[in-house]
Structure 1
Amino acid sequence: MPFTWHVHDTSTGERLMDVEPVSGSWESKLNGVASGSAVFQLGGTVDVVPYRALFNVSDWSRTIVTCWNGRPVADGVIKKTDWDMDTDQITVSYDSYRTMLSRRTTFGSDGYTGHQANNYFMFTDQSGRSLANNLVWVAQQGPRAGYDLRISYGTRSESGPFDRDYRDYNGVVVEEAMQELTDSEGGPDVELRPVLSGRDVLSWELRAGNPRLSHGRVDFHLGDQHALTGIKRSRDAGRLASQVYVLGPGQERKKLWAEASRSASMGLDVIESMTDQDRQKALQQRANSLLATYRTGVEQWSMSLIASASPGLSSVYLGTVLRVFFPSGRLVSGWREFRVIGMSGSVSTDSVALTVEVV
């Protein structure tokens, strides 16, 4: 079975209609909001009535899901629709369900209470995975109806190295807090994986690593098969650093700060602000993470996977480790390992662009 597309009710998860876009793109990734679009041709033999019911809306009530062999590989809450009368085409643009977290705060069910003493959502000695689960929980604690999310998550009380204070007067957005947590030293990978039940009802599973997420291992021998194509490597030392400073809240001499450093033949400084956290441990974790990231510069690889190949997309998920053998005589040779952190594709091809990181 090739790629298929389906539209669901965002609030209930109910499958409303199978659709066939004529063009468009899809994307999924760890640790962020993915996006995409789809174009549908109306007129001719296409019955416009169902499409009118699906897309003649101006809210976030429709979600489109991209599947490979029945498995959801990407999803998107439709935020924008454009109709062209001359071509009789409708274009929908969408962001993955994680976009919901970008419109939720940590204020909780009592709303904003920054003017009161009890105005915070506070954690001490929590694991990154537990803290991610708590952030998704608080995202559903709104001051009125309509804040429920179709997300399942794990324990909210696992011990670990993280302290966080989310105070109302700092106006903390859940998605921004999740990004900061992921970017900290030892921060967890976070995926909102779309899941279809036996009745094709859509929901999402929060997968948080401790700290990295994984999903199996697949071998590719470039001398024997051609499932992987377009392999490229880039090395960028533009953000190389030997000294990192993270400046926290406070004024002048009372400002909180943290630093991390390493020995190097050339001194290179990086300064970052983190004004919404007044925990020294959080500032230090961020400084340590930045130093680890920019210790040797950034090595980036890109490659594409033929979805229908063997092994192909049926074997590859976000978090899967690819063991790739490069034949001798190349700039890189022997076995190398990469972890998949993003995937994207288009309607017109079964070639899937993989975003990977070196293991």
Structure 2
Amino acid sequence: MIRIVCGELVTGRVLATVPTTDTGGGWSTVLNDAGSVDAVVPLRAREVRARRELLGYLEPTRCYLAAVTEDDVVLEAGPIWKHGFDDNTGELKVGAAGLMSLFDHRLVVKVLAAGERAQTTTLSWSGLSLGTIAKRLVQTAMSHTGGTLPIVLPDDEPGTAARNYPGYELGVVGERVRQLVEVEGGPDVALQPRLVDGGTRLEWVMRTGTSADPLLHQDGDDWAWDRGAARGSLTKLSVDVDATGVAQRTWAIGSGMETALMLGTAYDPTPLAAGYPLLEATGSFTSVIEQPTLDAHAAALADTARRPWQTWSLTVRADASPKLGTYRPGDWARVHVPDTHEYLRPGRYRSRVLSLSGDLSASVSVKLAPTMEHR
């Protein structure tokens, strides 16, 4: 169902399909982060020992691993970072991460002219969308000698955002991109791998949300899974509930110290009347100097602390509709829960796909974004 291939990172050239043990491989892909690809190679197997070139194809940082479906859809791909050889079994575990992981090893520094010092330079962009500034960070990292990668960059989008990155900070590209994602209205960012040139080469398409639609998601209808269908693709639905963040009174900590410390608070006594104990939570906002702003932060904390958060994990068949490779992290999904379910209330629940993971079999784990518990 899933095969693992390896290749040259800088050129994207596919070198080989990696021979693995029957269960020796796994993959994951995550919204706004690097996923993973793993392969377990039986080095003592006769057919593997005959391939003397194989270890050279699995060289850390120079080569990549990619998890590919039978329809040649690349689920995740990126540089190899780890080897682990087990002398008892003769197996080599090769660990790779999505291409986004490489940008945790690239710095935000301009290409220096002769005699120029990094600490006296600044990269500045304005009049652009946050997604295009993320593109500029990646583009600049690739402009250095040896920095080229097979990434297809998106078109520029004008906007009102501006960012300055002094060279003396030696900021990490991956961290700076994540900071753009995490601000209010920040865009999703993905490096989506795909096979090109008849399957002989791999490239990554950089996708970013826009100012009008910052979320990356599918076009068209939500993907649908039905827990009540006898022969459906959804075979398991697990639920985790976390109430450790629940609070009826929240405190926002602002600027100042000791008795001059600024505090904002919000309080909802309604649950106490229903028999719940008083719970409290705090948040730090030390740069805030305006009381109304601090009170607004406290109210926002209260909104997220009102009820427990629950996370759904689905186990689905890769070869049934919707088929693996058609849905990705960030897409919207709708799950039908029948009235026979032992734990959840019946209905149709909508959430975003947060991550996907699996091995080399026809089973896929789909994690949905946490949602506030319904009562």
TM score, norm. by length of structure 1: 0.81
Equivalent AA in structure 2 for residue 307 of structure 1? A
The equivalent of 1:180 in structure 2 is: 179
- Give the Cα separation in 2 of the matches to 1:313 and 1:115: 47
SS in 2 for 1:139: helix
The equivalent of 1:54 in structure 2 is: 57
**Is 2:140 the counterpart of 1:148?**
no
- Give the Cα separation in 2 of the matches to 1:182 and 1:259: 28
The equivalent of 2:274 in structure 1 is: none
**Is 2:327 the counterpart of 1:321?**
no
The equivalent of 2:13 in structure 1 is: 14
How far does residue 329 in structure 1 lie from its aligned partner after superposition? 4.3
How far does residue 176 in structure 1 lie from its aligned partner after superposition? 0.7
How far does residue 159 in structure 1 lie from its aligned partner after superposition? 0.4
The equivalent of 2:81 in structure 1 is: 79
Equivalent AA in structure 2 for residue 51 of structure 1? L
After alignment, is 22-31 or 33-42 more displaced? 33-42
- Residues 163 and 295 from structure 1, CA distance in 2 versus in 1: closer, same or farther, beyond 3 angstroms? farther
- Give the Cα separation in 2 of the matches to 1:261 and 1:340: 33
Contact 1:39 1:90 in 2 (8 A): yes
Alignment of 1:228-267 (within 5 A): 228-239=234-245, 242-244=250-252, 264-265=268-269
- Give the Cα separation in 1 of the matches to 2:331 and 2:316: 13
- Give the Cα separation in 2 of the matches to 1:236 and 1:260: 25
**Is 2:240 the counterpart of 1:223?**
no
Q: Which has the larger radius of gyration?
A: 2
SS in 1 for 2:52: helix
SS in 2 for 1:341: strand
- Residues 125 and 295 from structure 1, CA distance in 2 versus in 1: closer, same or farther, beyond 3 angstroms? farther
Contact 2:28 2:358 in 1 (8 A): yes
- Give the Cα separation in 2 of the matches to 1:240 and 1:106: 39
The equivalent of 1:28 in structure 2 is: 29
How far does residue 63 in structure 1 lie from its aligned partner after superposition? 0.7
- Residues 259 and 310 from structure 1, CA distance in 2 versus in 1: closer, same or farther, beyond 3 angstroms? farther
TM score, norm. by length of structure 2: 0.78
SS in 2 for 1:159: strand
Unaligned runs of at least 5 residues, structure 1: 275-282
- Residues 333 and 113 from structure 1, CA distance in 2 versus in 1: closer, same or farther, beyond 3 angstroms? farther
- Give the Cα separation in 1 of the matches to 2:101 and 2:14: 20
Q: How many residue pairs are counted as aligned between the two chains? A: 334
Contact 1:4 1:70 in 2 (8 A): no
Alignment of 1:105-116 (within 5 A): 105-110=107-112, 113=117, 115-116=119-120
The equivalent of 2:273 in structure 1 is: none
The equivalent of 1:268 in structure 2 is: 281
- Give the Cα separation in 2 of the matches to 1:345 and 1:77: 19
Residue by residue over 1:108-147, the C-alpha shift from the partner in whole angstroms, topping out at 9 and shown as x without a partner, is 112984642xx322334532222221221122233xx101
SS in 2 for 1:315: coil
Residue by residue over 1:242-271, the C-alpha shift from the partner in whole angstroms, topping out at 9 and shown as x without a partner, is 454588xxxx89xxxx99976645763211
Identity value in percent: 23
